[in-house]
Chains A and B, each alone.
Chain A
Amino acid sequence: MRTRKSARVGQYAALLAYLAFLALPFLWLLSTAFKSPRELGSPHPSWIPEDPTFGNFRQAFDEQPLLHAASNSLLAAASAALVAVLLATPMAYVMARHRTLLGRAATGWVVVSQAFPFVLVIIPLFLVLKNLRLIDSVFGLVMVYVVWSLPFALWMLVGYVRAVPAELEEAAAVDGAGRLRTLVSVTAPLLAPGIVATALFAFITAWNEFFFALVLLKTPEKQTLPVVLTHFIGAEGVADLGPLAAAAFLATLPSLVVFALIQRRITGGMTAGAVKG
């Protein structure tokens, strides 16, 4: 299909506008992170720092327990991702291979659970965890994260299981492989990339999560990175901009790296699914 030249120019102009809208706020965050206090105080801020400095990063680490918070976040997110995938994979397998009432109920629940405001879930959870003495504990938070990430973990995994042709399993069965043997040596290797992608996605969601962590963790030493970041913003909303930008940038890096790794898988998987459906 030929497109007229003027239309092309318009398209590129629109694309550039989108790129600017998406990228500029992030570039501004980066720029602020490397500015000296003197420059931040100047009435005419510029895009490129005049004398770039790492001082904000040092100050960010001095002011708030960032490393400690990052290790809390890492612990919570990694364990939540691991447990969620361990629990979800077998169920996803059953849901993908069998059309059962349970499977349909679970799918329905996935949709319904998205619609409820967190406040309706967090109050009872808060009371339950309090009775179990799991308030203000990373373990309690991990439990919440696991359940919270199960719906989409199931959703993703069911898709990945369906992509593994059942005929392969049948062929293995015909060749005399037992049920377990088939799962371990035929299904599991084909499913592994999907499981890893699901785990990484669960990791990012837990790493980024704020609301549950805000409610459930009270002691500063136990708080996760997003909660600690909000401490940079003082009570009056007056913030030390340089260190705030530096800390915010650092907190984003793990998500960006992990997401870059799995992005193709997520968007690609969706596209493949859409074409097939």
Chain B
Amino acid sequence: MTWVTGSGRPAERDTRAGPGGGRISGHGAWFLVLPALIPILVLSVGPLLYGILLAFTDAQSGRTASTRWIGTLNFQDLLHDTLFWESFRIGLVWAVGVTVPQFLLALGLALLLHQELRLRWLARALAIIPWAMPEVVVGIMWRLVYNADAGVLNETLRDLGLGDGRDWLSGLGTALPAVIVVGVWAGMPQTTVALLAGLQNTPRELHEAAAMDGAGAWRRFRTVTWPALRPVALAITALNLIWNFNSFALVYVLTNGGPGGRTRLPMLFAYEEAFRYGQFGYAAAMGCVMVALISVLLALFLVGRLRGGEES
């Protein structure tokens, strides 16, 4: 869903319906809004609040005894749960490890696509593939690439004389980098499209004027392109961080958290806690901690970036 960000809420200023026309009376408006509002309240807002409440209970799946309030006991347990914090750390490494290269690669591709190059159409067509593919299929596909015997990666390494290759997804040291590459591949198109939209927003005349004045490519990028691109870049990076931190399907298919928990993202951890061990309350507490900590980190990141922007 990443594409949503790029649109950057366009027509914000021409929202006002003209005088007289286009007005809907109060009752009419409610009539139009309720069909969507009720499901959102019942199946989205409601469950979310319910989920937060569950974090303060001992809810378990398939238990006959009634659920009790246990205050912050889940959170106290969580504080000492080293496995969870290890998983949280892996989640951060994964989220940053995917988001940063994803952004840099997408920026490069967007700058290339912004030029008048041949083969642009091909790049656009190919960019559809990772975007449209089900995450499960992306995972399966890369399992085939990484496969120790029949995979193309090891075969290429052998051809280049770079050794026999290895079992990438089950090696303790290689599993996390290997899944990060897949994460980058899967999310690149959306980021590229968002950045490309931002690039097309940069004033071409300024660019040309800077070139006339003899500014080199890097200087033009620094002084003309980047300032115009910054808001889009910040928004897409912030959202990518959140989405990547919360991702599930890719790694579930690629490694299912293995080997030895080296790729067990927080979502995989919470999923197992809830639906394998039935600890609903405890898993809900994990969800709350994930949201809270990620919000804080993200707020720090955004404040830092915005302040940095004012100085430069």
Contact of A87 among B23, B29, B35, B142 (CB under 8 A): B35
CA distance A146 to B38 in the complex (A): 12
Contact of A119 among B43, B128, B155, B286 (CB under 8 A): B286
* Contact between chains at A1 and B211 (CB < 8 Å): yes
Considering only residues 232-259 of chain B, those with a C-beta below 8 Å from chain A are: 232, 239, 242-243, 245-246, 248-249, 252-253, 256
* Contact between chains at A1 and B141 (CB < 8 Å): no
- Answer yes or no: A109 CB below 8 A from chain B CBs: yes
* Contact between chains at A173 and B21 (CB < 8 Å): yes
- Answer yes or no: B160 CB below 8 A from chain A CBs: no
* Contact between chains at B48 and A259 (CB < 8 Å): no
* Contact between chains at A21 and B185 (CB < 8 Å): yes
B205 to chain A, nearest CB (A): 12
- Centre residue among A45, A171, A251 by max chain B CB count within 10 A: A45
- Answer yes or no: B301 CB below 8 A from chain A CBs: no
Q: Which of A51-59, A120-128, A188-196 contacts B (4 or more CB under 8 A)?
A: A120-128
- Answer yes or no: A40 CB below 8 A from chain B CBs: yes
- A residues in contact with B245, CB < 8 Å: 117
- B residues in contact with A252, CB < 8 Å: 132-134, 137
CA distance A166 to B9 in the complex (A): 18
Contact of B17 among A26, A98, A271 (CB under 8 A): A98
Contact of A91 among B12, B32, B51 (CB under 8 A): B32
CA distance A260 to B280 in the complex (A): 41
- Tell me the count of chain B residues lying within 8 A, CB to CB, of chain A: 120
- Answer yes or no: B144 CB below 8 A from chain A CBs: yes
A221 to chain B, nearest CB (A): 19
* Contact between chains at B134 and A210 (CB < 8 Å): yes
A54 to chain B, nearest CB (A): 18
* Contact between chains at B50 and A274 (CB < 8 Å): no
* Contact between chains at A97 and B137 (CB < 8 Å): no
- A residues in contact with B249, CB < 8 Å: 210-211, 226
Please, could you name 23 A-B residue pairs with CB atoms under 8 Å apart, sorted by A?
A: A15-B112, A29-B140, A90-B35, A90-B36, A94-B24, A115-B295, A117-B245, A123-B54, A123-B59, A125-B43, A150-B39, A162-B15, A169-B21, A210-B136, A229-B136, A232-B140, A255-B133, A256-B133, A270-B7, A270-B194, A274-B198, A274-B232, A275-B201
- Answer yes or no: B11 CB below 8 A from chain A CBs: yes
Considering only residues 181-226 of chain B, those with a C-beta below 8 Å from chain A are: 185, 188-189, 193-194, 196-198, 200-201, 207-208, 211, 217
Q: Which residues of A contact B (CB under 8 A)?
A: 1, 3, 7, 11-12, 14-16, 18-19, 21-26, 28-29, 32, 40-41, 43-45, 47, 86-88, 90-91, 93-94, 96-100, 102, 106, 109, 113-125, 127-128, 143-144, 146-148, 150, 152, 154-156, 159, 162-163, 166-167, 169-171, 173-174, 179, 204-205, 207-208, 210-211, 215, 225-226, 229-230, 232-233, 237, 239, 241, 244-245, 248-249, 251-252, 255-256, 258-260, 263, 266-267, 269-277
The 4 closest A-B pairs by CB, nearest first: A273-B10, A170-B21, A120-B287, A259-B132
* Contact between chains at B246 and A274 (CB < 8 Å): no
* Contact between chains at B217 and A119 (CB < 8 Å): no
- Answer yes or no: B131 CB below 8 A from chain A CBs: yes
* Secondary structure class of chain B's binding surface, majority of residues: helix
* Contact between chains at B248 and A118 (CB < 8 Å): yes
* Contact between chains at B143 and A239 (CB < 8 Å): yes
Q: Which of B68-76, B79-87, B119-127 contacts A (4 or more CB under 8 A)?
A: B119-127
- Supposing A91-B32, A245-B140 touch, asked if A147 and B39 sit within 8 A by C-beta, the answer is yes
A129 to chain B, nearest CB (A): 9
- Answer yes or no: B98 CB below 8 A from chain A CBs: no
Considering only residues 95-110 of chain B, those with a C-beta below 8 Å from chain A are: 105, 108-109
A106 to chain B, nearest CB (A): 8
Contact of B126 among A19, A115, A118 (CB under 8 A): A19
Contact of A259 among B36, B122, B131, B207 (CB under 8 A): B131
- B residues in contact with A26, CB < 8 Å: 129, 141
CA distance A211 to B193 in the complex (A): 26
* Contact between chains at A248 and B137 (CB < 8 Å): yes
* Contact between chains at B47 and A167 (CB < 8 Å): no
- A residues in contact with B127, CB < 8 Å: 22
